[in-house]
Amino acid sequence: MVKKNIGTVTYPLTNGMRAEPLVIINGRVIDPEQGIDGTRAVVLDGGAVRAVAENVPPEYSGAGVIDAAGCWVVPGLVDMHVHLREPGREDKETIATGTQAAAAGGFTAVACMPNTAPVLDEDSKIRYVIQRGEDCPCRIYPIGAITKGLEGEELAPMGEMVDTGAVAVSDDGKPVSNSSVMRNAFNYSKSFNIPVICHSEESTLSAKGHMNEGLVSTRLGIRGIPVVAETIAVSRDILLAEYTRARIHIAHVSTAGSVRLVREAKARGVNVTAETCAHYITLTDEDIGMYDTNKKMNPPLRTAVDREAILAGLADGTIDVIASDHAPHTPEEKDVEFDNAAFGVIGLETSLAIALTMLVNKGILTPAQMVDRMSAAPNRILGLAGGTLKAGSPADVTVIDPSVKWTVDPSLFFSKSRNSPFIGMELTGAAAYTILGGRVVYRRG
Amino acid sequence: MGLQIQHLLGLENVSREDIKAILDTADGFYGVLQRDIKVVPTLRGQTVVNLFYENSTRTRISFELAEKRLSANPLNFTASTSSINKGEGLRDTIRNIEAMKIDMVVVRHSCAGAPYFLTQCTDAVIVNAGDGLHEHPTQALLDMMTIRQKLGRLEGLKVAIIGDIFHSRVARSNAWGMKTMGMNVVLCGPPTLLPQHTDSLGVPVTDNIDEALDGADVVMLLRVQLERQSSAVFPSVHEYRDRYGFDLDRLSKMKKDVVVMHPGPINRGVELSSNVADSENSVILDQVTNGVAVRMAVLYLLGGGENG
Amino acid sequence: MDAHALDLALTRIAHQILERHGDLSAVCIVGMQTRGVYLAQRITAKINAMEGVSLKTGILDTTLYRDDYRLAFRQPEVRVTDIPFDINEKNVVLVDDVLFTGRTVRAALDAIMDHGRPRTIQLAALVDRGHRELPIRGDYVGKKITTSPKQEVALRISELDGEDSLWLTELEGEE
């Protein structure tokens, strides 16, 4: 057990510990895949969902009970874009602490990016991450590298990695600059029916930049990363995927132009999905204020126009997924001059509350749409079994208290790192229980 | 009297009253610099650290002279003589220096915002001597002092600042400071040397030099880094000189008493022709003299008291 | 003290300066910022009228020579210093409005020394209110008055304040 002020995470999970039958009653069950939104009882047994019913079936009258009155009961949330830093930078985060943060944030699964040291670019490294995750309170789905060592030159062995458990490929953190290599990656990925997750960035335009190129960067005297550095690359990647008829998933969409490109591509029938992150929904470059390095990430915070376009894209389904791009860094890498600070922010323990506060409570997404963007859609894209409470699905459930108010204080986080862009923000809503395979792995309070 | 600001990080948010107070005080120090004995005992016992992470002999010498003429003790930390090269972070460096009991820090750094960062690490008064592409406030103050000395006022004057605006912290500080003082600033350079987004500078920006020079009371030329030619920013020195260089021909079309300025060091024959640099209209050496007076004024006005 | 009394006091000081200095060409009258400047100008004008000479008045600002720089959070304004004559080997008469602790005069002595090496320096003050903290005395004093340290002596002069008068006020009970 790992106990903090905000709640308790079960860690490590002991192997062979059988999940006792559990019923969740009085909650508002929201499962967009089944079209359910109403008060139901959810019955979990043997690691799977047994039933979603008006009443608890009599054979479960003696089972353990969670009274979810006032709460939402939704399929376990999935964050398909996190950096767990293990192996290599265990000083920032480990698979253990990252998954604890995930459980506390309401996530029952995360997909972790391969830019570790060493890079996850072959089956043995994928296997290492999966094994390290076995006793963790959240499922881990590794994403393999597109190219060996993220060098952008030679393809990594996609087949071996997928056979070992990789669910997608990405060179996230770096673009694959060579269009021919990228074309080959798209083509090759088709054999495995996995998405190629694109970190779309034209490096010759973004080089030396540390924040969005705009009025604020001019004022602060910081070299900028123009929106076209992203949109040119998104455009190239979509065109290559369209030409090769491969699956493409655009990571961390930050610009209005990218939203438009994805929308147009979807209308043409391109097999494209896209994600944005909690911080692009919430913040703009103005929030950097006096060189706040906790607001520095790549792609950078953009302008209000971009933020509005992203909100519209989430609402109309152009953007399929909300992820965190959880990127832990040590204070030594953040408590420095802005130009010298590392790119990246943490988000596992704030994403759900951001989605509730900034999207649901502001009427941009319905609760069912939010559940889709944070559970059903990432499961679909990565080909996972979760994302719904259909009978027989994994017993991964998040019980959300949509009304609890709290203030972001990273010193209370389960994550090892503190580089949150939301420090001090008042948010509404949090995971009350996170249930993994039928067992409660996080309980708030 | 006294200033509203506690540190001089830039001119963007400095009030008209504060700028006027600094310039008025600098006029007083200008008088001191004309005497045989050019030292006053005002900052006796105060230690001022010159923390220079970027090579700039001119600015450092100007500050050091200002400090010495106020009877302060200057302490020079430059990139080549300190632990800066040994990978020590800025926070540790300043905390170490502070532990030696210092009063003020003059900082020059290649990262924008480094002076503000220092205010978060130390209680000492911070004076920005140039940070990245951000600001160089004492340069703008000495420019305004020089203009006021020559033309008797600031309000209503038109100033054309010509050259590499994008990379110029001098242009930014002058744009904000001069606008605050009621001057009409125009920034001008080839489009590749202008910021892409300029509205936040608060002054007009143009690539048309004739428009910029039209009716100007002051022309300020900025140094063009010749090595930028290799990064495809402009095609040749020759073409730059033809299109944006300020020479006798352009000078002849200006007001008779137009003030020609340059923050130095000059690329003679590129942004400014030699005969204009040495003409009666040029105040380039006055700028250097006034730089010491302005820096004395800034150190004097910000130093002293223990707390607010 | 009203305008008439003030004028009489300045006239008396002018006479005393004349009595003490035979060679007016070696006399330099220097007013201390701010009100001392105007008093010095009036004294100079009286001497010029009485003797048919054209002495100039110097202006001295002592701000940069204060001894309380570290104590002050807001620094006082640096004002003009303008000494339009050579003071080397001259007899300088410093003019101040109110002689109190003597600290301003100490600063003025240092300041004037940085402009040259006078043969003598004398001090003229319109009012001496006592409470000296340094071994300094006035050579020409218009009026001695007895005050408590909690009182404030304020001179108003027509050039700045629209009238000539001297005010003695009790400071409020603040420390």
Helix axes B57-69, B137-151, angle to 10 degrees: 70
Q: From the CA of B286, how many Å to the nearest CA of chain C?
A: 20
| Interacting residues of A177 by C-beta distance below 8 A, sequence separation 6+ | A152, A203
Three-state secondary structure string covering chain A: CEEECCEEECCCCCCCCCCCCEEEEEEEEEECCCCEEEEEEEEEECCEEEEEECCCCHHHCCCEEEECCCCEEEECEEEEEECCCCCCCCCCCCHHHHHHHHHHCCEEEEEECCCCCCCCCCHHHHHHHHHHCCCCCCEEEECECCEHHHCCCCECCHHHHHHHCCCCEECCCCCCCCHHHHHHHHHHHHHHCCCEEECCCCHHHHCCCCEECCHHHHHHCCCEECHHHHHHHHHHHHHHHHHHCCCEEECCCCCHHHHHHHHHHHHHCCCEEEEEEHHHHHCCHHHHCCCCHHHCCCCCCCCHHHHHHHHHHHHCCCCCEEECCECCCCHHHHCCCHHHCCCCECCCCCHHHHHHHHHHCCCCCCHHHHHHHHHHHHHHHHCCCCCCCCCCCECCEEEEEEEEEEECCHHHCCCCCCCCCCCCCEEEEEEEEEEECCEEEEEEC
Return the amino acid letter for A98. Answer: G
CB contact at 8 A, A250 and A200: yes
| Interacting residues of C53 by C-beta distance below 8 A, sequence separation 6+ | C24, C47
Nearest residue of A to residue B118, measured between CA atoms: A337
Nearest residue of A to residue B117, measured between CA atoms: A337
pLDDT exceeds cutoff 80 at B85: no
Q: Answer whether B48 touches C (CB < 8 Å).
A: no
Q: Please give the mean pLDDT across all residues of chain B.
A: 92
Task: Report chain B residues whose CB lies below 8 A from the CB of A220.
Answer: 112-113, 134
Interstrand relation of C120-128 and C140-144 (parallel, antiparallel or unpaired):
parallel
At C150 the pLDDT is 86
Cα–Cα distance list, A430 to A350, A351, B3 (Å): 8, 9, 47
CA-to-CA distance for A25 and A177, rounded, in angstroms? Answer: 52
Give B209: exposed, middle or buried? Use CB within 10 Å, 0-12, 13-18, 19+: buried
Q: Which residue has the higher pLDDT, C75 or A161?
A: A161
Return the amino acid letter for C105. Answer: V
Q: What are the residue numbers of the active site of A? A: 325
Query: Residue A118: is the preceding peptide bond cis (ω within 30°)?
Result: yes
Q: Which residue has the higher pLDDT, B222 or B264?
A: B222
- Give me the domains of chain A, ranges plus CATH numbers: 2-73+392-444 (2.30.40.10), 77-382 (3.20.20.140)
Task: Report chain C residues whose CB lies below 8 A from the CB of B308.
Answer: 73
Task: Report chain A residues whose CB lies below 8 A from the CB of B200.
Answer: 215-216, 218-219
Q: Do C75 and B43 touch (CB under 8 A)?
A: no
Q: pTM (2 decimals)?
A: 0.92
User: B197 in the Ramachandran plot: left (φ > 0), alpha (ψ -120 to 50) or beta?
Assistant: beta
Nearest neighbour of C72 by CB, restricted to B28, B36, B305: B305
Cα end-to-end distance, chain A, whole Å: 14
Q: Which residue has the higher pLDDT, A40 or C150?
A: A40
At B305 the pLDDT is 58
Nearest residue of B to residue A221, measured between CA atoms: B134
Task: Report chain B residues whose CB lies below 8 A from the CB of A218.
Answer: 195-198, 200-201
At C175 the pLDDT is 44
At B83 the pLDDT is 54
Task: Report chain B residues whose CB lies below 8 A from the CB of C63.
Answer: 28, 42
pLDDT exceeds cutoff 90 at B225: no
CB contact at 8 A, A167 and A133: no
Reported confidence tier of residue B308, pLDDT bands at 50, 70, 90: very low
Return the amino acid letter for C141. Answer: V
The dotted CATH code for B137-285 is: 3.40.50.1370
CA-to-CA distance for A344 and A356, rounded, in angstroms? Answer: 22
Q: Do B113 and A216 touch (CB under 8 A)?
A: no
pLDDT digit string, tens, across residues B168-210: 999 999 999 999 999 999 999 999 999 999 999 999 999 999 9
Cβ atoms within 10 Å, residue A81: 28
Nearest residue of B to residue A217, measured between CA atoms: B197
Q: From the CA of B285, how many Å to the nearest CA of chain A?
A: 28
Question: Which residues of chain A, if any, have pLDDT below 50?
Answer: none
Average pLDDT rounded to a whole number, residues C60-75: 82
CA-to-CA distance for A35 and A183, rounded, in angstroms? Answer: 38
- Do C and A touch (≥3 CB pairs < 8 Å)? no
pLDDT digit string, tens, across residues A398-423: 999 999 999 999 999 999 999 999 99
Q: Do B133 and A223 touch (CB under 8 A)?
A: yes
At C75 the pLDDT is 79
**Is residue C68 helix, strand or coil?**
coil
Q: Do A340 and B195 touch (CB under 8 A)?
A: no
Classify C3-67+79-170 by CATH class: alpha beta
Q: Do A336 and B169 touch (CB under 8 A)?
A: no
Nearest to B156 by CA among B184, B135, B196: B184
For chain A, give the percent of residues with pLDDT over 90: 96
At B307 the pLDDT is 40
Q: For chain B, give every domain's residue range.
A: 16-134+289-302, 137-285
CA-to-CA distance for A53 and A49, rounded, in angstroms? Answer: 11
Q: For chain C, give every domain's residue range.
A: 3-67+79-170
Q: Do B198 and A216 touch (CB under 8 A)?
A: no
Q: Sheet containing A107-112: which strands, arranged edge to edge?
A: A77-82, A107-112, A139-142
pLDDT exceeds cutoff 80 at B231: no
**Is residue C63 helix, strand or coil?**
helix
Q: Sign of dihedral through CA atoms B2, B8, B10, B13?
A: negative
- For A234-255, give one letter per residue: b (16+ CB within 10 A) or e: bbbbbbbbbebebbbbbbbbbb
At B84 the pLDDT is 56
- Do B and A touch (≥3 CB pairs < 8 Å)? yes
Least confident of B224-228, B236-240, C5-9: B224-228
Reported confidence tier of residue B86, pLDDT bands at 50, 70, 90: low
Reported confidence tier of residue C73, pLDDT bands at 50, 70, 90: low
> Which residue of C61, C62, C64 to mutate against B (max B Cβ within 10 Å)?
C64
Q: From the CA of C85, how many Å to the nearest CA of chain B?
A: 12
Please indicate whether the domains covering B16-134+289-302 and B137-285 agree at the CATH topology level: yes
CATH superfamily of B16-134+289-302: Aspartate/ornithine carbamoyltransferase (3.40.50.1370)
Q: Answer whether B35 touches C (CB < 8 Å).
A: yes
Average pLDDT rounded to a whole number, residues C143-151: 90
